[in-house]
């Protein structure tokens, strides 16, 4: 991300939006899409929200599974 900022490929507000996503592979996908497709901030924000929601659901599903099947 630092290199992208230094090279001026993306504005820092877009990079900050990408960093809201915790999964590094999702971050890379968003970064590549933002650069390649020239995503606007609003488009990037929409995509990052989907990733964040997906991550939250995945954690919740995993957490629920652990509660449902303790010790397995």
Maximum Cα interatomic distance, the chain, rounded to a whole number of Å? 50
What is the model's pLDDT at position 65? 57
Domain that holds residue 34: 2-68
pTM, whole model, 2 decimals? Answer: 0.77
In the chain, the number of structural domains is 1
| Dist. CA 21–CA 24, nearest whole Å | 8
| Residue pLDDT, tens place only, 59-69 | 776 556 556 65
| Residue pLDDT, tens place only, 10-51 | 999 999 999 999 989 889 999 999 999 999 999 999 999 988
Of 58, 55, 53, 16, the C-alpha closest to 34 is 16
| Dist. CA 1–CA 28, nearest whole Å | 9
Tokens encoding 34: 């933002």
Q: Are 20 and 26 in contact (CB under 8 A)?
A: no
What is the model's pLDDT at position 5? 81
| Dist. CA 66–CA 22, nearest whole Å | 21
């Amino acid at each position: 991300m630092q290199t992208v900022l230094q090279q001026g490929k993306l504005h820092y507000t877009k990079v900050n939006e990408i960093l809201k996503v915790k999964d590094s592979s999702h971050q890379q996908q968003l970064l590549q899409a933002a650069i390649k497709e020239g995503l606007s901030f609003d488009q990037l924000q929409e995509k990052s929200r989907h990733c964040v929601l997906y991550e939250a659901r995945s954690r919740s599903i995993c957490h629920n599974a652990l509660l449902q099947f303790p010790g397995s």
